[in-house]
Amino acid sequence: MHRLTLVGALLLALLAPPLRAQTSLPPEVHQALQRAKLPESALAALVVEADTGQRRLALGEQQPVNPASVFKLLPTYAALDQLGPAWTWTTPVYTSGTLQGGVLEGTLAIRGSGDPKLVQERLWLLLRRVQQLGVREIRGDIVLDRSAFAVPETSPAEFDGDPSRPYNVRPDALMLNYKALVLGFVPDAARGQALVTVDPPLAGYSVDASVPLSSGPCEDWRGALKASVGDPARLRLAGAYPSACGEKAWPLAHPDPKGFNARLVEQLWRELGGKLSGSVRDGSVPAGARLLFEQASPPLIEVVREINKFSNNVMAEQLFLSLPLAARSLPPGATVRPEDAREHLRRWLRERLGEEALKDVVIDNGSGLSRESRVSAALISRLLLQAWNSPVMSELMSSLPISGTDGTLRRSTATAGRAHLKTGSLRDVAAVAGYVLSNSGRRYVLVAVLNHPNANAARPALDALVQWTIRDTPAR
């Protein structure tokens, strides 16, 4: 009898009409918005069961909104889908002229293809391999070929007025160490000073070796240093460093982005014991140059993980501009412009979702560091649902920050480990999108975007929505 009752209940459940999506916010989310003084209309949200597509919550999901860094889900999923997680960038190195007895009478050329992970350690390995292959003295120039990307000249201060922020670095086909350096401060109480380190060191660029210590709390310690960061040849520190801060690190974009690559290559080449008669300069690979070797980047999945876990804007832009060549929508050797990357991403979206889905989409760049980008919560949700059933599902999900655990979600108050969500944050945007594992064992796609001048004060509302989804509250 019990078995018949159970079978009957299952049949009734299967025959029953699907539950309608809840269109009113859960009380805890509504209250969090009220505390932050935001209207419900500032929120676009959609919660959908991943396996069935059943909507559990829908609110303003069709309206175009600025997604901030949640936009990074589009180029990272597109890259995994089109290229596969093991794909790599290659950076070829060429020589021209004659090589005899370790002396190159000619040119060494390095051609960039967009590798976002050519940090100083990997550049050091590249230059060391040049020497291991017999080139120890160059009686000519080292040429840096950046022609794979054609990015319009704009000020790094254009977005928020602060060119020293590393996230404002513009993309470059030969992106070396993100065109940024890190100042380190190590207090030495006995000497009353903080020792200052710079990494990486750059040829022709000096930094004050120490700064006086000061008493008092460690509050605006960067402001207290009174740093003069605009001189491309020297960084001066006119203030003091609070001893209460202990050791600190300060990442900075170099004030001369055009000259950064040359300074870094020259410094590392000479540190390795290499000799150079000419200069390090921008240019093209000479005609007839011979390929010496190619250096491969880490696999794409490692790059995607860094982009999404830590919302790395520079790496996202590098990936975005790399896609048209990597996916062969442009002929080999072509120069990629931002409009080529935008059209490539639109074409991929059209193939996945259809033309109708793109009517309100505005693609500005690949990072979401934009006031112009627009996309709906519904479109992001559809992409995440597609990804859930794709061969690269596990790679995409594992690249996302985990609630209360790592990346940009490490401070989330939602249950630790239960949500994999890309975050987005601008002055007037707060957003999350990804996958949530509920108490019932169901997996949900969740997208929530706040557009409002006070959006970031309402982040607790996003955490509350994630927690509501974890609790698996049924739709009404």
Name 12's Cβ contacts closer than 8 Å, sequence gap at least 6.
Answer: none
The DSSP output letter for 474 is P
Give CA–CA dist 323/316, Å, rounded: 11
Residue 59 forms beta bridges with which residues? 45
Out of 297, 326, 360, pick the residue that ends a domain: 297
Mean pLDDT of the 315-344 span:
96
pLDDT digits (tens, 9 = 90+) for 37-92: 999 999 999 999 999 999 999 999 999 999 999 999 999 999 999 999 999 999 99
Mean pLDDT of the 297-317 span:
98
Residue in 138, 145, 73 with CA at minimum distance from that of residue 420: 73
**Number of domains comprising the chain:** 3
Residue in 152, 229, 244, 221 with CA at minimum distance from that of residue 198: 229
- My answer on whether 314 and 431 are in the same domain is yes
Give CA–CA dist 22/468, Å, rounded: 12
Give CA–CA dist 251/222, Å, rounded: 11
10 found inside a domain: no
Q: Is there a contact between 258 and 172 (Cβ–Cβ < 8 Å)?
A: no
423 found inside a domain: yes
Q: Is there a contact between 157 and 163 (Cβ–Cβ < 8 Å)?
A: yes
Averaged confidence pLDDT in the chain: 94
Q: Is 25 left (phi over 0), alpha (psi -120 to 50) or beta?
A: beta
- My answer on whether 354 and 463 are in the same domain is yes
pLDDT digits (tens, 9 = 90+) for 278-304: 999 999 999 999 999 999 999 999 999
Q: Is there a contact between 285 and 83 (Cβ–Cβ < 8 Å)?
A: no
- My answer on whether 98 and 75 are in the same domain is no
- My answer on whether 306 and 412 are in the same domain is yes
Per-residue confidence (pLDDT) for residue 38, from 0 to 100: 98
Tell me the three state secondary structure of residue 220. Answer: coil
Give CA–CA dist 74/157, Å, rounded: 26
Give CA–CA dist 188/466, Å, rounded: 45
Mean pLDDT of the 370-375 span:
97
Mean pLDDT of the 254-264 span:
96
Whether the per-residue pLDDT at 473 is higher than 90: the answer is no
3-state secondary structure 441-459: CCEEEEEEEEECCCHHHHH
Whether the per-residue pLDDT at 7 is higher than 70: the answer is no
Mean pLDDT of the 118-137 span:
98
156 found inside a domain: no
- My answer on whether 320 and 388 are in the same domain is yes
Q: Is there a contact between 361 and 373 (Cβ–Cβ < 8 Å)?
A: no
Whether the per-residue pLDDT at 238 is higher than 90: the answer is yes
1 found inside a domain: no
pLDDT digits (tens, 9 = 90+) for 273-282: 999 999 999 9
158 found inside a domain: no
pLDDT digits (tens, 9 = 90+) for 396-445: 999 999 999 999 999 999 999 999 999 999 999 999 999 999 999 999 99
Per-residue confidence (pLDDT) for residue 29, from 0 to 100: 97
- DSSP-derived secondary structure for 137-189: EESS-EEEE-TTB------TTTTTS-TT-GGGPPP-TT-BGGGEEEEEEEEET
Mean pLDDT of the 298-313 span:
98
* Tokens encoding 310: 């830590």
Please count the residues of the chain: 476
Give CA–CA dist 204/233, Å, rounded: 6
Whether the per-residue pLDDT at 6 is higher than 50: the answer is no
Whether the per-residue pLDDT at 21 is higher than 90: the answer is no
Per-residue confidence (pLDDT) for residue 107, from 0 to 100: 98
Cα 132 to Cα 139, 145, 276, 295, distances in angstroms: 17, 22, 16, 14
Per-residue confidence (pLDDT) for residue 153, from 0 to 100: 86
Whether the per-residue pLDDT at 19 is higher than 70: the answer is no
| Residue 115: how many other CB atoms lie within 10 Å | 24
Query: Percentage of the chain surpassing pLDDT 90?
Result: 90
Out of 243, 270, 297, pick the residue that ends a domain: 297
- My answer on whether 357 and 230 are in the same domain is no
Cα 153 to Cα 317, 367, 371, 398, distances in angstroms: 15, 18, 19, 35
Mean pLDDT of the 126-149 span:
98
Per-residue confidence (pLDDT) for residue 194, from 0 to 100: 98
CATH number for the domain harbouring residue 131: 3.50.80.20
Element (H, E) at 55: strand 55-59
Q: Is there a contact between 203 and 268 (Cβ–Cβ < 8 Å)?
A: no
The DSSP output letter for 36 is T
- My answer on whether 43 and 134 are in the same domain is no
- My answer on whether 447 and 390 are in the same domain is yes
- My answer on whether 247 and 279 are in the same domain is no
Alpha-carbon dihedral sign for residues 229, 231, 233, 237: negative
16 found inside a domain: no
Task: Tell me the pLDDT band of 474, cut-offs 50, 70 and 90.
Answer: low
Per-residue confidence (pLDDT) for residue 20, from 0 to 100: 64
* Tokens encoding 452: 């409002």
Task: Tell me the pLDDT band of 156, cut-offs 50, 70 and 90.
Answer: confident
Tell me the three state secondary structure of residue 210. Answer: strand
CATH number for the domain harbouring residue 320: 3.40.710.10
Per-residue confidence (pLDDT) for residue 160, from 0 to 100: 84
Mean pLDDT of the 212-216 span:
95
- My answer on whether 51 and 176 are in the same domain is no
6 found inside a domain: no
pTM: 0.93
Full residue range of the structural domain in which residue 200 is found: 166-253
109 found inside a domain: yes
- My answer on whether 338 and 229 are in the same domain is no
Residue 434 forms beta bridges with which residues? 421, 446
Give CA–CA dist 445/46, Å, rounded: 8
Out of 242, 267, 297, pick the residue that ends a domain: 297
Q: Is there a contact between 310 and 407 (Cβ–Cβ < 8 Å)?
A: yes
- My answer on whether 367 and 233 are in the same domain is no
